[in-house]
Amino acid sequence: MAQESSINTASRRTRILNNHLVQYPSKPTSCLQSNSCLSYTPPESTESFGFDIKEMRKIVDFHNLEDRDWLFGVIKQGRVFNGKERGGRLFVSPDYNQTMEQQREMTMKRIEYLLERGAFDGWLTKKGVEAELKKLSLLEVIQIFDHSLSVKIGVHFFLWGGAIQFMGTKRHHDKWLRDTETYAMKGCFSMTELGHGSNVRGIETVTTYDSKTGEFVINTPCESAQKYWIGGAANHATHTIVFSQLKINGVNEGVHAFIAQIRDVNGNILPNICIADCGHKTGLNGVDNGRIWFDNLRIPRENLLNLVADVSPDGQYLSAIKDPDQRFAAFLAPLTSGRVTIATSAIYSSKIGLAIAIRYALSRRAFSMTPNGPEVLLLDYPSHQRRLLPLLAKSYAMSFGGNYLKMLYVNRTPESAKTLHVVSSAFKAIFTWHNMRTLQECREACGGQGLKTENRVGHMKGEFDVQSTFEGDNNVLMQQVSKALLSEYVAAKKKNKPFKGLGLEHMNGPVPVIQPNLTSTTLRSSQFQMNAHCLRERDLLNRFAAEISLYQSNGESKERAFILSYQLAEDLGRAFSDRAILQTFLDTESNVSAGPLKNVLGLLRSMYALICLEEDAAFLRYGYLSTDNAAAVRKEVTKLCRELRPHALALVSSLGIPDAFLSPIAFNWIDANSWSSAQQ
C-alpha cells in the first residue's frame, strides 16, 4: 500500500510539473473571455475644439507646411522607415532592437532613399531665404522621425557643407558643393578633440605649410589631440573639415579649417590616417561617431578654407583681419546653423512627448472619486494638469522663439551676426534643457507604458540628451550670453549712450514697479508680464556688472572675475532668454485677429510668463516678488491649468505632427496591446 501511495504521489507531481513546463497550443481567442472590461474611448468623441487647429498649426509651424507634409508622406510610404501596424494604425519609427551596426546601415539607406526622391535638392546649390527655410523645414520633419537620421544629415549638409559654403570661397564652392548635395562624397566635421570640446581655441591638432611642395601637413601630436565624436567618421565619411592650429614659419596663427580626404571611393581608409569607432552610446546609435588621428597627412594648399585668411604659395600668411580674436570670431560666425537646428529640433521633440502623454492622459483612467463610480481621466486630475500643461505652454512659447531664431538666421547680415550668436546660444541652451525636462515628465506621466521603446517618449530621452552638450555645453553658452550682455552694458555706460540691440532697449526707460498686491487681472496683463521679466533682466545685469567690477577692483583679472561670477552669469542668461521668448510670443499674438484662437494664445502666453516667474528663484531671492505675490502667481498658474484643460486635445492636435509619428499609447492603447496584436 505504501509503495502504491508513493507511486500515485509521484505521478500526480509529474502531471503538475508537466502542466507548468509544457504550454499546449490554444486559439488566440480562447485567452480572453467576453466580459465587461475597460474600453478605449477616443478623446475626439468627448473633447471639442474651441479654435481652428489648422490655423494654429500655421502659426506654430510657421513656414513650408506643404513641403513638410510632402516629406511626411514620403516617410510613411517608404519601407525603409519601418512602418508597423499597431491597434489598427500605422506607425513609423526606427527598429531600436537592431544592433548598432544595423542601425547605422539603415540610417545610410534612408539617406539614399530620400536622396533618390529629391529631398535634398537645392540644399547647398540654391540660395535665398525661401531655399533656406525649406531646408530647415525638411530637416525638422526628418528629426521627428529619427534623431540619428537628422544628425547624420545635419553633419553632412550643415557642418561639412556649411563650412565649405560659408568659410570657403568660389574655388571650394565649385569643387565641393554639388558633390556634397548629391552625396558623391560624404562629409564630416572634425572640430572636437579628446582634450578640447567647448574650448575650440585650445585644440591641439597642428598644421604646417611646406612651401617646397605647396602642401599643408596635418598632425595629431598627442593622444588628447585625436578628433573625437566625429559623426560619420567611423563608417561612411570620405572627407572631413579639419580644425587645426596653423603654424607658419614657427608662428601660430590660430585655428583654421582644412578639407581632407580620409577614405577612397571604395571606403578604404587612406594612408597617414587612423580611424577608430567611438562605440555604443546611450542614444544616436544610428550615427557612426569616430575618432581620427593624422600622421603627416599632406593636402593641397587650396584645401584651406580661405574666406578669412589664406597662405600664399611661398608661405606668407595673409588676412585682412589682423586681430587674432576678431579673426577667430570671424571663423566661427558661420557655424551658428548648428545651434539653430538643435534648438528647433529640441522643441519638436518636446512636442512629440507632450502630444503622446496628453493624448494618453485623455483616454487613460485611474481611481474613482466615489464608491463604485467611474474612474477619472488622468488629465482631469489637477496634479496631472500641473505636470503637463505648463510644459505645453512653454513648448508653444519656444516654438515662436524658434521661428524668430530661424528668421534671424536666414536673413542674417554681418551687422546681425552678434545678435544671431547671442540668441542662438541662449535658445539652444534653454530649449534643450526644456526638452529633457519635458521628456522626463512625459515619461513619468505615461507610467510603465512610457518605458516601452515603441511608445517613443522614454527612448527619446537617450536620443536627445546629447543636445545639452554638443554644439556648445549649455552652461558655457549661457555664460557667453551674459558676457555679451555685459559688453553691451559697459559700452553703453562708457559712451553714455542708450542701449540698442539684443532687446536691451528696456534698460533706457524707468525701472518697472511691481504692485504690492497682484490680482488675477494684473497677472494676466501682458504689460505686467513683460515688466516683471524686464525688471529681473535689468537688475541681474546691473548686479552682474557690479560684481565683476568689484572683483576687478580687488585685483582679479577680467576673466577671473567673470569665472567667479558664474552664478549671476547663469541667472542673467536665463533672464535674457525668458524675456526674449516672451517678446516673440507677444509679437506672434499681435498678428492674430481677435477671436477664439487669440484667446487661447493669451492663456498660453500667461501660463508661460507666470510659470517662468514661479520657477525662477531669482524673483524671490532678489525681491522682485513678495512672498504674497509669489503665492498669487502659483495660484494663478493652477487656474490657468483648469482653463487650458478643455483645449488640451486641440493644442496637441495643432502641432503639425502626423499620427503615424506619435506612438500606440497616443491612440487605442488597448487594441495595440491586445493578444491578437501580440500574434502579428
Q: Return the active site residues.
A: 471
Q: Which of 190, 199, 198 is nearest to 220 (CA)?
A: 190
End-to-end CA distance of the chain: 53
- Compute the distance between CA of residue 357 and CA of residue 446 in angstroms, rounded to an integer: 6
Query: Checking DSSP bridges between strand 239-248 and strand 187-190, what pairing results, if any?
Result: parallel
Residue 183 in 3-state DSSP? coil
- Compute the distance between CA of residue 310 and CA of residue 453 in angstroms, rounded to an integer: 50
| 21 burial level (CB within 10 Å; 0-12, 13-18, 19+) | exposed
Q: Which of 588, 585, 609, 589 is nearest to 598 (CA)?
A: 589
Give Cα 427 distance to the centre of its chain: 10
Helices of type H across 121-256: 129-145, 147-154, 162-167, 170-172, 178-181
Q: Which of 475, 586, 459 is nearest to 527 (CA)?
A: 586
Contact 51, 648 (CB under 8 A): no
- Compute the distance between CA of residue 603 and CA of residue 412 in angstroms, rounded to an integer: 32
- Compute the distance between CA of residue 600 and CA of residue 281 in angstroms, rounded to an integer: 41
Residue corresponding to grid cell 582679479: 556
Point out which residues pair with 366 in neighbouring strands.
376
- Compute the distance between CA of residue 227 and CA of residue 237 in angstroms, rounded to an integer: 14
The residue type at 64: N
Q: Which of 64, 61, 50, 63 is nearest to 598 (CA)?
A: 50
Q: Which of 199, 109, 89 is nearest to 152 (CA)?
A: 109
Contact 365, 377 (CB under 8 A): yes
Long-range contacts made by residues 175-183, C-beta under 8 angstroms, separation at least 24?
A: 176/259, 177/124, 177/125, 178/124, 178/125, 180/124, 180/156, 181/120, 181/121, 181/122, 181/123, 181/124, 181/125, 181/157, 182/115, 183/111, 183/112, 183/115, 183/120, 183/156
- Compute the distance between CA of residue 103 and CA of residue 284 in angstroms, rounded to an integer: 9
Residues near 279 by beta carbon (within 8 Å), at least 6 away in sequence: none
